[in-house]
Structure formats: C-alpha cells, structure tokens
Amino acid sequence: MLTYLDNVASIGPNSAYGLRRNRGLNENLARELLELHTLGVDGGYGQGDVRALAGMLTGWSYASVSKAARSIGKPHAGTYHFDEGMHEPGSKTLLGKTYKWEGKREVDRALDTLSTHPATAHHIATKLARHFIADQPPLAVVARLYNIFLDSGGDLGVVTHALIDSPEAWAEPLTKIKSANEFIVSALRGLNIDITDKNLIKSLDFLAQMPFSAPSPAGWPDTADGWIGSEALMRRTDWAVFIAKSAREAVPLDLLNDTLGPVADTNLRSAVQRAPSTTEAVAMIIASPAFQRR
Amino acid sequence: MPSRRNLLIYGVGAMAALTLQLRLARVAHAATVTNKRMIIVILRGAMDGLSAVPPYGDRDYSRLRGDIAIGAPGAANGAINLDGFFGLHPALPFLGERFQADEMAVIHAAATPYRSRSHFDGQDVLENGAKTPMGALDGWLNRALTLFSGSGQALAIAQTPSLILRGMAPVGSWAPDVLPPTQDDLMTRLAMLYDEDTLLGPALQEGMRIQTMSGATMGDGATDNKIKNAASDNLAAMATPVGRMLADPFGPRIAVFEMTGWDTHYNQGNFKGKLSNSLKALDMGLSSLHASLGSAWADTAVIVATEFGRTAAVNGARGTDHGTASAAFVLGGAISGGRVLGSWPGLAKNKLYEGRDLMPTSDLRALFSAALIGHLGLDAVDVSTRVFPGGPSAGKFAELFQG
C-alpha cells in the first residue's frame, strides 16, 4: 500500500524535507484507507479528514532494496521505515478528535479509533455478508455482524465465526457467482489435477483475474454483474473444454457428485450421461450454470 | 420473424437451429436500428483535464502546475494550439488533426453531478447518469437502449459490461479470445442447460450471438496474435477489430471501451512521462478506430469522458490528487467540431472549487443527452424522463450533433 497508493511520495509540507524541497502531501493512501479499508465511502468523513490522515501517514515508507543491499545488518533494511524528517509536524484533527503530534505513533492511534468505529463495523459487516452470503445480503445478517463487530471491539475472528454460524450462509439455492479465481480453483480441485504454474497464471489472466492486478484499489468485483458478461461466460466454457482435455482420467458422474452433488438438477445429470465423450461430459459439468455458483 | 427474445421463449426447441436463427435475428435487428454509431471511451482513474487540454492562456496555469505544466504552442514540446487559449497535450496529434478538420470538440470544465472524490463513486455516477452513486442501479446507456426496439446493438469491450451498459436491455460483451471456441455441438447442449437460468441464460445467448457476428465480420483468422493477447482495456489493440464490427452493416451500433491508468498522483510528467504515455495510447486508439471504421466514421460520434478531474495545483509528489472538473472529447465524422465548448471558470484561487479544483461549469449529462437526441435520434422527452430524469437539457451541446 505504501507504494501502490503513493505514500512513499507523500511528504509533510512543513517537515524538514518538505520545506527544503518544497514538497507536500499525497492524499491517495489516506483517502482509500478511509473509503475502502475502514469507514466506507458514506462513513461520514470529509476532505479535511483525508488531509489530516495523510499528514499522519507522512514519513511511513520502507528502506529501498538498493539501500537494503548496502546496509545488510541494519535494522531498517527492506522493512517498514519511518522517516521523521518527512513527517508533518503538529497536531491533527480527524473526525473531530484531535491527535497530538507524536510522529510514528499517530497512525496507530488513528487506526485504533477507525478500526472500532461504527461506520467501519457497518462497512465490514456488509462486505463480509456480501462476499459469503448474497450480493444483496439480508439486512438481518448485516445487523447481527455489525453488533458483534462492535461488541468484540472489531475482532474479525469472532465476526467470522458469527458469519459461519449464520443460517443464511448455508441457505439454498446458491446465489453467489464464483469469481474467476474461485471457478478455476474449484475446477482443479474437483478434477484433482495439477496444471503448471504458467498455465494456472494464464488461466487466471484469460478469465480476467490475474493475481495482484485488481482493476482498482477497491479490489475484484464481488457481485454477479462483475463476472457474468457474455464474453466472460463464453470464456468459462472455452476454458472448461481446455481443462477437460487435461483431465482424461476423470469420471464424469463422480465429478458431478463430488462437486455439485444435490445441486446438480436432473437436466444436468441426464445431459452429462448423454454426452458423446468423457471430455465433453467433464466440460459440461464445469461449464454448467450450477458450477458457476457457490 | 424470430427476435432474440423469441429465441429465449422458444427455449430448447429453438436451439437445434440456433445458428440459422441467430443469423435471421441479425437481419431483423438491423431493420430497427439506427445507422449511427456511438462509441463511449471511459477513462478510469480521473484524467487530468488541465494537462490533456492545457489552458495555456490562463495566467494562473503555469504557476499552479510548476514543472508538470504543458508549455504554450511554439515552445519546445509545447501544446498543439486549439483556439489561442486552450491547447492539446503534444501526445494527442490525431485529436489535433480532427479538431482542425472540425471533427473534434472539447468540453472543458465538465463534470458529472458528483462532488466528492472517490474514484469508484465518481465512476458510478458517470455511468449511472444519476446525481448520486446509488441514484440508479442501471447504466444510462442501457436505459437509452431500452428506447430502441430490438436488441444486440451495444457491445462492451470487456469480458463483463461495466455499469454504464448494465440494466434491462440485453447487451453483449466481447474481447479477443486465445482459446479455441467451444464446438457448436457442445455449445448447443450447454445452451439447453442455461435455458432456464434467468441470470446466466441471457448472457450465454448474447455471447453465442456475438461470436457468430465477430466471426462473420472478421473471418476466423482475422484477429492476430497481438490482438488476441492484448488486454481488453488496451484501446489501441481493440480498436481495429471493434471498428470492423461497428462498420459491419449488421454489427453493433454502440460500443463502450474502458481505459485505466489515469490516476496520476505521483510523477505524472509533463510532455513526457506517465500521463503522456496514457494520452498517446488514447490518441493512437482513436486513430485506429477512425481507420477501421472506414466510411462508417461519417456516421460516428465518439465521446471520451472521465469520472472527475484532478487538483488545479501540482501536489507534493509531482503529481495531482483527486479533483472535480476535467475535459471531455467528442469526435467523429458526424460531429460539428473545431471548437472548445463550456464556459471557462478560470484558475484564480477564488474561482476554484473548494479552493483547489477546476470549477465544473458543464454537466456531462447534458453532453450525453445531446448525443442521444442529436446523434442517435432519440426523443428529447424520452431522454429527459427515462434516461436522465432530473438531469439538465442538452442545451448548447445540441450544436455538436447537427451534422
């Protein structure tokens, strides 16, 4: 995040370095920290809060690789590094609360507040329920997770247990559409085959989910309409054929029972039984509507 | 005459003769479709309008921009002159040439109604055509499509359409594919399985239709390996196959491209550098579209827009942060261009939005309305009530589309 969202280039305008080089703040990490990682876009912060948090974040960087190589044995090499000389001096006011000038401790103090804020609880509860239960998650689940988040002081382990214990998480029919990554991994696991790392990466790229290349800092789509364009679906079909050809040993009905079991309806079952070849039967299971869901 | 909708209703029985019916469906659509082409290019990440279309004549410009300012025309690596006040970034020679030919116009200080600075909400508002990110759950271009009869007219150049094309009207998506297409027999069997799936069924139908169309338009070997391996947001690589599809009398009429890489917080550069590279890719892509559309260029309007602009002043990292107004481009053979539209608010401190951003003076929805009415021929009342309810009228932008 320090590099991806430009914090390494954000300099306190009144810091020693900022004054000497006439450099200043870069708001990128501060804004996304509030919008994407804690409060959420409607979490009640303003432009002044973004600037304040950006000020607190100034100075946080890492020792560069070349510097690390030159300074083997020194504590900062290749690790997080706080540079006081780039840190914006003075107190900062975030969400109406004033934080005293404390250098590297400021961000920790701010995160303590942000991570247990009700807006954060709502944001995280919604995201978890959307990811694991439904694109439009039942409000009751979100409310339950929200309360547990707040009661536990933002303990994600406790919140996750509550999510797993939610009956809504196990309700049928399945509604979540698999991401490309989930689709590929579930097919490979179901077929119990290995493909080369190169082919795995190519497959993920082919279905628009190249690792470490999410389209924006908001991450990968988490709802059906981000994954089921006509081109995307045609590609899943093409990929199903490709992978079925690599799984010559597969037994179609075993695959069907192991991966879809009761979710496979009679149409799919009989289509698989009538398929002209093993490859086509396997491709049909993986390309089937049921296999696109989780 | 079977339409795509009928195909869905016929269901399983229709699938046996799928290919034939799809071809018939294409002809049926063509009779109901406009001859005009409209292409939207969404620049994701907030394009810096003050570098793309530098107001070099504004007395505050070079002071605010410091060493990322674009020089005046005539200076070394300076702007391409437009009208003596505004210039074009030197990486945009094709756009400059179209401006000279009266086929390109700039709308400066333009923005959506969105006034916060989140990329994602900003893009949602650009695409949903409402005032707020949750103001509409479908895209304005999809709502416009519902005003046409027939379907199959719009194509997202991506694996999955983005919000602007999502909604009631069926739309397709396309991107070049490196794996061999699934054989017809298996596809037909799969189509039966998808037939009753209300979420996935229509998408598969649309995919099969587009595959037939793109194959017919380009021939099976026409997408070379360079194109096949390119990412769908690589406009320069996508422009040629998509331009050919749009030029086909039976092809789609509307296409949406997306380009990323505009979020220049750090070292954005001036006449060269990160932003310059993105602008160059945009210019080359538009130039390829112009070439591949051939005679259909005369019926084409391309709109290039971004979710918001960037700060008027350079930031502490030789970049720019999230701002408000930016510039939009409109080009094509069907455009009355050669001018910069929109009223210029100026860059003096007290003229900036919240003291930091270019003040918006034009609403992008007015431009979009003008294109839907003047170019695609939609009814003005329909547009104002069903596409952009509560939005501004086309106003002065109507002039752009009077051919």
Write down the pLDDT at residue B20.
Answer: 33
What residues in B contact A280, CB-CB < 8 Å?
A: 186, 189
**pLDDT over threshold 70, residue B18:** no
Of A35, A47, A230, which has the smallest distance from its Cβ to B207's Cβ? Answer: A230
Please state the rounded mean pLDDT for residues A131-159: 97
The DSSP H or E segment spanning B330 is: strand B326-331
Find how far residue B179's CA is from the centre of its chain: 27
Mutate to test the interface with B, among A39, A233, A278, A285 (most CBs of B within 10 A): A233
SS (HEC) of A209-222 = CCCCCCCCCCCCCC
Confidence band of A65 (pLDDT split at 50, 70, 90)? low
Asked if A41's CB is within 8 angstroms of B321's CB, the reply is: no
Asked if B319's CB is within 8 angstroms of A26's CB, the reply is: yes
Closest-CA residue of chain A to B172: A230
Write down the pLDDT at residue A72.
Answer: 56
Question: What predicted TM-score, i.e. pTM, was given to this entire model?
Answer: 0.80
Closest-CA residue of chain A to B317: A9
CA-CA distance, B65 to A49, in Å (whole number)? Answer: 25
Render pLDDT for B176-224 as a digit per residue (tens, 0 to 9).
Answer: 877 888 888 999 999 999 999 999 999 999 899 888 877 766 654 445 6
Q: Is B229 on the interface with A (CB under 8 A)?
A: no
**pLDDT over threshold 90, residue A104:** yes
Mutate to test the interface with B, among A26, A33, A234, A239 (most CBs of B within 10 A): A234
Strand B172-173, strand B104-111: pairing: unpaired
Confidence band of A200 (pLDDT split at 50, 70, 90)? very high
Write down the pLDDT at residue B16.
Answer: 32
Structure token pair of residue B287: 């130039």
Write down the pLDDT at residue B232.
Answer: 78
Of B120, B180, B190, which has the smallest distance from its Cβ to A216's Cβ? Answer: B120
**Which among A115, A6, A7, A96 is positioned nearest to A52, based on CA atoms?**
A96
Closest-CA residue of chain A to B195: A289
Percent of chain B having pLDDT more than 90?
71
Helix, strand, or coil here: A47? Answer: helix
**pLDDT over threshold 50, residue B12:** no
Of A230, A240, A275, which has the smallest distance from its Cβ to B203's Cβ? Answer: A230
Q: Is A241 on the interface with B (CB under 8 A)?
A: yes
Q: Where are the alpha helices (DSSP H) in chain A?
A: 16-21, 28-32, 47-57, 65-70, 105-115, 118-132, 139-151, 156-164, 180-191, 197-206, 230-245, 252-259, 266-274, 278-287
Write down the pLDDT at residue A248.
Answer: 83
Confidence band of B152 (pLDDT split at 50, 70, 90)? low
How close does chain B come to A179, measured CA to CA in Å? Answer: 12
What residues in A contact B177, CB-CB < 8 Å?
A: 231, 234-235, 238
**pLDDT over threshold 70, residue A139:** yes
Cβ neighbours for B385, distance < 8 A, ≥ 6 positions apart:
none
- Show which of residues 131-190 on chain B sit within 8 Å of chain A, judged by CB atoms: 133, 156, 158-161, 166, 172-175, 177-183, 185-187, 189-190
How close does chain A come to B87, measured CA to CA in Å? Answer: 27
How close does chain A come to B181, measured CA to CA in Å? Answer: 6
Closest-CA residue of chain B to A280: B186
- Show which of residues 171-190 on chain A sit within 8 Å of chain B, judged by CB atoms: 177
**pLDDT over threshold 80, residue B110:** yes
Of A26, A224, A240, which has the smallest distance from its Cβ to B315's Cβ? Answer: A26
Asked if A230's CB is within 8 angstroms of B210's CB, the reply is: yes
- Show which of residues 268-287 on chain A sit within 8 Å of chain B, judged by CB atoms: 268, 271, 275-276, 280, 283-284, 287
Asked if A221's CB is within 8 angstroms of B120's CB, the reply is: no
Structure token pair of residue B344: 């210029």
Of A25, A217, A230, which has the smallest distance from its Cβ to B315's Cβ? Answer: A25
Cβ neighbours for B255, distance < 8 A, ≥ 6 positions apart:
B37, B38, B39, B40, B154, B155, B156, B157, B242, B245, B246
Percent of chain B having pLDDT more than 70?
88
What residues in B contact A31, CB-CB < 8 Å?
A: 117-118, 322
The DSSP H or E segment spanning A81 is: strand A80-82
Write down the pLDDT at residue A173.
Answer: 85
Please state the rounded mean pLDDT for residues B99-118: 96
Asked if A207's CB is within 8 angstroms of B160's CB, the reply is: no
Confidence band of B150 (pLDDT split at 50, 70, 90)? low
Residue ranges of the domains in chain A? 7-113, 118-171, 180-292
- Show which of residues 116-135 on chain B sit within 8 Å of chain A, judged by CB atoms: 116-121, 133
CB A181 within 8 A of CB A189: no
What residues in A contact B207, CB-CB < 8 Å?
A: 230-231, 233-234
Render pLDDT for B21-74 as a digit per residue (tens, 0 to 9).
Answer: 333 333 333 334 578 999 999 999 999 999 999 999 999 999 999 999 999 999
What residues in B contact A288, CB-CB < 8 Å?
A: 190, 193
Asked if A292's CB is within 8 angstroms of B118's CB, the reply is: no
**Which among B26, B35, B3, B32 is positioned nearest to B212, based on CA atoms?**
B26
CB A246 within 8 A of CB B179: no
**pLDDT over threshold 90, residue A111:** yes
Please, what is the average pLDDT of chain B? Answer: 88
**Which among A118, A166, A167 is positioned nearest to A146, based on CA atoms?**
A118
Render pLDDT for B366-379 as a digit per residue (tens, 0 to 9).
Answer: 999 999 999 999 99
CA-CA distance, B170 to B140, in Å (whole number)? Answer: 14
How close does chain B come to A208, measured CA to CA in Å? Answer: 7
- Show which of residues 254-313 on chain B sit within 8 Å of chain A, judged by CB atoms: 260, 263, 265-267
Q: Taking CB atoms and an 8 Å cut-off, how many pairs form between chains A and B?
A: 170
What residues in A contact B168, CB-CB < 8 Å?
A: none
Write down the pLDDT at residue B215.
Answer: 72
What residues in A contact B211, CB-CB < 8 Å?
A: 234
Write down the pLDDT at residue A144.
Answer: 97
Confidence band of A62 (pLDDT split at 50, 70, 90)? confident
Of A215, A228, A235, which has the smallest distance from its Cβ to B260's Cβ? Answer: A215
How close does chain A come to B338, measured CA to CA in Å? Answer: 35
Strand partners, B303: B40, B330
Render pLDDT for A148-166 as a digit per residue (tens, 0 to 9).
Answer: 999 999 999 999 999 999 9
Structure token pair of residue B341: 């539209």
Of B121, B182, B260, which has the smallest distance from its Cβ to A238's Cβ? Answer: B182
How close does chain A come to B64, measured CA to CA in Å? Answer: 13
